[in-house]
Structure 1
Amino acid sequence: MSIDYLIMITKPMLQGAQMTVLLFFVAILTSLPLGFMFTLMARSAFKPFAWIANFYIYIMRGTPLLLQLLFVCFGLPILPVVGEYLVMDRFVAACVAFILNYAAYFAEIFRGGLLAIDKGQYEAAQVLGLSRWQTTRKIVVPQMFRIALPAVSNESITLVKDTALLYAVAVPELLHFAQTAVNRDFTIVPFFVAGIIYLLMTLLLTLFFKQLEKRYRFE
């Protein structure tokens, strides 16, 4: 194994990692607010909203992400009547599946954060004359964020690793190029290189969330 060979196999894998990173940012930036919305719906006094949100969370957490990914990519287009309007680019379909799946997990994380807030905080806000919206924005959400941050960090790292499922729907990401190199060269070295790239990505993400925890959790 030479340096030239490592450079040759690493270059396409880094190109595939760009797709991995893109999926990660699209999914995380969209599923976080969506998950919070489902948390609010699940806690709503309007029962139909609560039922819809809880049913959605149950379905998305109770079925494998791979199944959801395959359904969005290959199942939606063959639905009767509406299928022809649901045909998407493979990467777009993958983004939709990841967003819907992770929104359910973040919804449960945020629910746990809300439940951890002492009821006295709400009572104190009422004494101060704060509206429900002001209470949520100034008191509840900041505390919920601090409480939920470690779990959000863990779920975000899991998301980086789950992007490897793109391989199942033929989207050319990091693992795709690693597998191609293994099949072509009959060596497992590309798998080790791919593993190192994944470790570096998760390391950067871990360091980022550690800084967030230091800034918000203990200030």
Structure 2
Amino acid sequence: MTAQTKSAIPPVTGKEAPAGHTAIEAVPLRRPGRLLLCAALLFLLFFLVEGWATNPRMQWHTVGEFLFAPVVIEGLGTTLLLTVVAMLIGVVGGIVLAVLRMSDNPLLARISGLYIWVFRGTPLLVQLLFWYFLSAIVPRIGLGIPWGPTFVDFDTNLLITQLTAAFLGLGLHEAAYMGEIVRAGITSVDGGQTEAAHALGMTRRQTLRRIVLPQALRVIIPPTGNQAISMLKTTSLVFAIAVPELLTSVQGIYSRTFQQVPLLTVACIWYLVATSVLNVGQYYLERRFTRGSLRELPPTALQRLRAALATKQEPQT
């Protein structure tokens, strides 16, 4: 009986084991295949980067010459402006569309569904061109009584400029996608919380603003960040209506110098820089709105740096 009891005791790792336990030395599992694969991938990556960086046809001196050119910086500013305004229109419009889509009123729900169907089902480039050539269908836009007198009217060409057409095309198209993202976030909140809020006397609007939306943001923010990054690159489509954003500015330069690849490299560098900034912003937003759902928040870059420095400065015993 005693021998069976001792054999059932699991072994313990370490130099010193309690009485009745067998001390063993844990050896990490060796994976030579994984090491070989990592080495091959690192070699391939180094080979590609080294070949790209040392290729004389890349003309890196031209890249450095035009990287901070005034026309390129101005185009970058237009790209960032288009991204911010379009995302604001998209987020606000998406919230409205999501609320209407989930409304008890069947007419409002169907109007929201029709909007999403139309704007998601047609290409963005077509929508941009439609807004740009709107004056061909509606020469003047007026305010007044339907089928009655018009109090004030405007020339459509003066009212909807190239930049305004870009705002409308990008923003209204983005609202259709954001409507589905917001609706998914709202439906992810437990319905019992809505019932409890109504039992406490909250109205539907108060429940949505104070209870549902703050919790739905945990689900909404990650795909919204992806949409913002996608919008930054999608703004390049406004070249079709001659808006001088980053890619259009770069195209204007290489159409005169015939140095396409170096100038496109300049555009790629600035797109990567802007995307990296948006990634950092998305990380901190996610970290901010996950408070309360995680026991410990993920560390920031500064906190990781401090931890690494503290580890190096610890005295060795």
Match of 1:31 in 2: 90
Counterpart amino acid of 2:115?
Y
How far is the alpha carbon of 1:3 from its aligned partner?
Answer: 4.5
- Whether 1:52 and 2:130 are equivalent positions in the alignment is no
SS in 2 for 1:45: coil
- Whether 1:212 and 2:285 are equivalent positions in the alignment is yes
- Whether 1:7 and 2:80 are equivalent positions in the alignment is no
Question: Structure 2 length normalisation: TM-score?
Answer: 0.65
Corresponding pairs, count? 216
Asked if the contact 2:66–2:263 (Cα under 8 Å) also holds between the matched residues in 1, the reply is: no
Question: Structure 1 length normalisation: TM-score?
Answer: 0.92
Match of 2:254 in 1: 182
Counterpart amino acid of 1:137?
R
How far is the alpha carbon of 1:96 from its aligned partner?
Answer: 0.9
Equivalent-residue separation in structure 2 for 1:105 and 1:5 (angstroms): 36
Give the helix-richer structure, 1 or 2. 1
Equivalent-residue separation in structure 2 for 1:112 and 1:69 (angstroms): 27
Mapping of 1:167-206 within 5 angstroms? Answer: 167-187=239-259, 188-206=261-279
With over 3 angstroms needed to count, the CA separation of the structure-2 counterparts of 1:150 and 1:9, relative to structure 1, is: closer
Tell me which moved more, 124-133 or 91-100.
Answer: 124-133
SS in 2 for 1:70: helix
With over 3 angstroms needed to count, the CA separation of the structure-2 counterparts of 1:97 and 1:139, relative to structure 1, is: same
Match of 1:94 in 2: 166
Equivalent-residue separation in structure 2 for 1:125 and 1:57 (angstroms): 30
2:188 to 116, 120, 126: 116
Asked if the contact 1:16–1:174 (Cα under 8 Å) also holds between the matched residues in 2, the reply is: yes
SS in 2 for 1:143: helix
Equivalent-residue separation in structure 1 for 2:109 and 2:175 (angstroms): 15
Unaligned runs of 5+ in 2: 1-58, 142-155, 293-317
Equivalent-residue separation in structure 1 for 2:107 and 2:250 (angstroms): 47
1:20 to 79, 86, 92: 79
SS in 1 for 2:243: coil
How far is the alpha carbon of 1:2 from its aligned partner?
Answer: 6.5
Asked if the contact 2:98–2:183 (Cα under 8 Å) also holds between the matched residues in 1, the reply is: yes
Deviations 1:125-179 (A, max 9, x none): 2333322222111110101111111011111110000010111111111101211
Equivalent-residue separation in structure 1 for 2:186 and 2:227 (angstroms): 18
Which structure ranks higher in relative contact order (CA pairs < 8 Å, sequence separation ≥ 6)?
1
Mapping of 1:98-177 within 5 angstroms? Answer: 98-177=170-249
Match of 1:84 in 2: 140
Equivalent-residue separation in structure 1 for 2:90 and 2:63 (angstroms): 39
Equivalent-residue separation in structure 2 for 1:60 and 1:149 (angstroms): 22
Deviations 1:160-218 (A, max 9, x none): 00010111111111101211222222221010110010011111011001000011124
Counterpart amino acid of 2:163?
F
Equivalent-residue separation in structure 2 for 1:157 and 1:5 (angstroms): 24
SS in 2 for 1:122: helix
Counterpart amino acid of 1:67?
V
Asked if the contact 2:60–2:262 (Cα under 8 Å) also holds between the matched residues in 1, the reply is: no
Counterpart amino acid of 1:48?
L
Equivalent-residue separation in structure 2 for 1:150 and 1:53 (angstroms): 23
How far is the alpha carbon of 1:41 from its aligned partner?
Answer: 1.1
With over 3 angstroms needed to count, the CA separation of the structure-2 counterparts of 1:207 and 1:5, relative to structure 1, is: closer
RMSD after superposition = 1.6
Percent identical = 37
SS in 2 for 1:117: coil
With over 3 angstroms needed to count, the CA separation of the structure-2 counterparts of 1:4 and 1:101, relative to structure 1, is: closer
